[in-house]
A = this chain, B = another copy of it.
Amino acid sequence: MSKQELPVADLNAVACCSPIAVRPMNAEQAAVVAPLFKALGDQVRLRLMSMIASVPEICVCDLTPAFDLSGPTISHHLKVLREAGLVDAERRGTWVWYRVKPEAFRQLGALLEISAAPAGSSAG
C-alpha cells in the first residue's frame, strides 16, 4: 500500500500550469486538476483530508469514529483521496496510517493563488 498504486494521471502536470486566475486553462490541464478539486468536494472527504493534514500521520482507527458512517464507507473515501494523489497510506502491523502528500496539496493551493493584481493589470 505504501507503493504507489496507480499512475495518478501525471500529477506533475499540475505544477506546469499557472494559477487558474492568470490564464485560461486548456482542456488537458483541467482534466488533470479537476479530479483534485472533486476529491475535496465532499464533506466527508474534506473532513478526512483536514484531519489527516492537521497531523503528521493518523490511523484509520482514529478517523472512522469521527463519522456516523460505516467502515467501508470511510475506506472508500480514503481510497478516493489516495487515487487523487492527495494522501498516502502505509500499513504498520494491524493498523493503516494515512498522511498527506504535501506536493499535491501545495500545488492545489498554488492554483488558487491570485498572482499580482486581481483584475486591473494587463497580463501578457
Binding site for B on A (CB under 8 A): 20-27, 30-31, 33-47, 49-51, 53-56, 66, 99-100, 102, 105-106, 108-109, 112-114, 118-120, 123-124
Contacts and interface: CB of A to CB of B under 8 A. Distances in A.
A71 to B, nearest CB: 18
Given A35-B41, A41-B37, A21 B54 contact: yes
A100 B33 contact: no
- Of A21, A38, A55, most buried by chain B (CB within 10 Å of CB) is A21
A41 B35 CA distance: 6
A40 B43 contact: no
A34 B45 CA distance: 9
Contacts of A112: 105, 108-109, 112
Contacts of A21: 50, 53-54, 100, 105
B118 A24 contact: no
